[in-house]
């Protein structure tokens, strides 16, 4: 870019991150591969010297730019999104940031895992699109909660902003990640199943697991999904359906209004246990108990799956059992897989890949 603008003075700023990639390293000048020591080093740097927010450049007075060329087109489908919940203009983003820090942060740690509660900032699209910079978030956070830098209120939210940095720093240090290579090489030996009707059912929110389906319907309808749900649906695709995490990563990018190469890749590699500091491969979420834990009464599920509105709270996570007992015909699919059997097949596939052999996975 700088070379193309040969007669223009260019200045670069690291404003899409808090600290420049490559500037938070171990004593051996290496990128950290584990989040917690990275975060601790990161916080030490912030305590020493806060990164500045740069002012927007002044309007050019002369030297009109030439006519723009033809616009670049992207082949992803355009989905409608909720412009009220996710406003795209800077003023609304700043107001949301201020309100969140002032009123919602105190409850963030308690509420952030429950998708029926509006407990997170919902600022990810603004950060991804550059409507807000992470530095504006940091400065606003410290204005309302200076104790966040030392483990007080706001520290958990700051930690999430640092996860965002972690994945960006990793991608800069290991550019193969941009090419969707797994961080842990042997995981490329896992024998994934071909994405077929099960993949389509996952995409459309028709797997028969209510929390997974409600989450996917939220994604398809709004272009956004709650973080806890991203972890649940990603784990389900990879570890219950044994479908390559890259299929899910690609589908997310096609739907998300906050689609971000580094955070999305990091999230998928975390869920698939192929990334650095990822969930160990034998850690497999049970989609039913995850639903019971994080949407106990089924409030979120009922919102997105109206077909289940009559199911009592005690049965909302296993509606097919309730329907069978009550002899009621539900307009909702039976579960796509038996979780216990799917889990065993996945463990066998990962074990075989780790030992360098490929297992033949039969059924789900």
Ligand X SMILES: Cc1cc2nc3c(=O)[nH]c(=O)nc-3n(C[C@H](O)[C@H](O)[C@H](O)COP(=O)(O)OP(=O)(O)OC[C@H]3O[C@@H](n4cnc5c(N)ncnc54)[C@H](O)[C@@H]3O)c2cc1C
Q: Which residues are catalytic?
A: 160, 163, 192, 227, 245, 268
Which position among 167, 251, 281, 300 is part of the footprint of ligand X (CB under 6 A)? 167
Which position among 97, 190, 231, 345 is part of the footprint of ligand X (CB under 6 A)? 231
Nearest to ligand X of 210, 259 (CB atom):
259
- x/- site string to ligand X, residues 249 to 268, per CB under 6 A? ---x---x-xxx--xx-xxx
Nearest to ligand X of 18, 308 (CB atom):
18
Residue 269 touches ligand X, criterion: CB under 6 A: no
What's the CA gap between 170 and 181, in Å, rounded?
A: 13
**Region near ligand X per CB under 6 A, out of 11-19, 72-80, 163-171, 306-314:** 163-171
Write a three-state SS string for the chain.
Answer: CCCCCCCCCCCCCCCCCCCCCCCCECCCCCECCCHHHHHHHHHHHHHHCCCCCCCCCCCCCCCCCCCCCCCCCCCCCCCCCCCCCCCCCHHHHHHHHHHHHHHHHHHHHHHCCCCCCCCCCCCHHHHHHCCCCHHHHHHHHHHHCHHHHHCCCCHHHHHHHHHHHHHHHHHHHCHHHHHCCCCCHHHHHCCCECCCHHHHHHHHCCCCCHHHHHHHHHHHHHCCCCHHHHHHHHHHHHHHCCECHHHHHHHHHHHCCCCCHHHHHHHHHHHCCCCCCCCCCCCCCCHHHHHHHHCCCCHHHHHHCHHHCCCCHHHCCCHHHHHHHHCCCCCCCCCCCCHHHHHHHHHHHHHHHHCCCCCCCCCC
Which position among 135, 145, 169, 230 is part of the footprint of ligand X (CB under 6 A)? 230
Q: Which residue is nearest to ligand X (CB)?
A: 267
Nearest to ligand X of 142, 352 (CB atom):
142
Interface of this chain with ligand X, residues 66 to 105, rule: CB under 6 A: none
Using only C-alpha atoms, the chain has a radius of gyration, in whole angstroms, of: 22
**Region near ligand X per CB under 6 A, out of 47-55, 174-182, 193-201, 227-235:** 227-235
Which position among 42, 114, 163, 199 is part of the footprint of ligand X (CB under 6 A)? 163
What's the CA gap between 123 and 134, in Å, rounded?
A: 10
**Region near ligand X per CB under 6 A, out of 30-38, 60-68, 159-167, 177-185:** 159-167
Least Å from the CB of residue 229 to ligand X: 8
- x/- site string to ligand X, residues 105 to 124, per CB under 6 A? -------x-------xxxxx
Which position among 18, 116, 271, 301 is part of the footprint of ligand X (CB under 6 A)? 271
Total of residues contacting ligand X (CB under 6 A): 28
Residue 285 touches ligand X, criterion: CB under 6 A: no
Nearest to ligand X of 25, 227 (CB atom):
227
Nearest to ligand X of 88, 314 (CB atom):
88
- x/- site string to ligand X, residues 122 to 141, per CB under 6 A? xxx--xx-------------
Least Å from the CB of residue 363 to ligand X: 26
Burial state string for 158-184 with b = 16 or more CB within 10 A and e = fewer than 16: bbebbbbbbbbbbbbeeeebeeebbbb
Nearest to ligand X of 220, 227 (CB atom):
227
Residue 19 touches ligand X, criterion: CB under 6 A: no
What's the CA gap between 88 and 19, in Å, rounded?
A: 25
What's the CA gap between 52 and 19, in Å, rounded?
A: 10
Question: Which positions lie near ligand X, rule CB under 6 A?
Answer: 112, 120-124, 127-128, 160-161, 163-164, 167, 227, 230-231, 234, 252, 256, 258-260, 263-264, 266-268, 271
């Amino acid at each position: 870019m700088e070379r193309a603008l040969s007669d223009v003075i260019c200045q670069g700023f690291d404003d899409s991150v808090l600290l420049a990639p490559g500037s938070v390293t171990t004593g051996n000048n290496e990128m950290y591969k584990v989040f917690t020591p990275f975060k601790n080093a990161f916080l030490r740097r912030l305590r020493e010297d806060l990164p500045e927010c740069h002012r927007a450049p002044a309007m050019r007075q002369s030297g009109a730019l030439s006519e723009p060329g033809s616009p670049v087109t992207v082949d992803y489908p355009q989905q409608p999104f909720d412009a009220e919940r996710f406003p795209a203009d800077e003023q609304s983003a700043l107001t949301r940031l201020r309100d969140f820090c002032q009123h919602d942060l105190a409850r963030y740690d308690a509420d952030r895992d429950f998708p029926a509660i509006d407990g997170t900032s919902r600022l990810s699209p603004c950060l991804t699109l550059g409507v807000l910079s992470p530095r504006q978030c940091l400065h606003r956070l410290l204005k309302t909660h200076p104790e966040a830098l030392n483990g007080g209120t706001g520290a958990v939210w700051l930690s999430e902003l640092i996860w965002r940095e972690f994945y960006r720093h990793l991608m800069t240090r290991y550019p193969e990640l941009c090419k969707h290579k797994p961080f842990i090489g042997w995981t490329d030996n896992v024998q994934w199943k071909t994405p077929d009707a099960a993949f389509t059912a996952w995409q459309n929110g028709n797997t028969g697991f209510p929390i997974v389906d409600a989450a996917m319907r939220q994604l398809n309808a709004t272009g956004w999904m709650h973080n806890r749900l991203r972890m649940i649906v990603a784990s389900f695709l990879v570890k219950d359906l044994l479908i390559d995490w890259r299929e899910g990563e690609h589908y997310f990018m096609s739907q998300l209004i906050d689609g971000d190469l580094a955070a999305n890749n990091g999230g998928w590699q975390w869920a698939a246990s192929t990334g650095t500091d990822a969930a160990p491969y034998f850690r497999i979420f049970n989609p039913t108990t995850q639903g019971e834990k994080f949407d106990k009464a089924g409030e979120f599920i009922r919102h997105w799956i109206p077909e289940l509105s009559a199911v009592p709270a005690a049965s909302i996570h296993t509606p097919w059992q309730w329907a069978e007992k009550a002899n009621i015909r539900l307009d909702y699919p039976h579960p796509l897989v038996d979780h216990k059997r799917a889990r065993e097949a996945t463990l066998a596939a990962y074990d075989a890949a780790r030992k360098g052999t490929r297992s033949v996975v039969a059924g789900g």
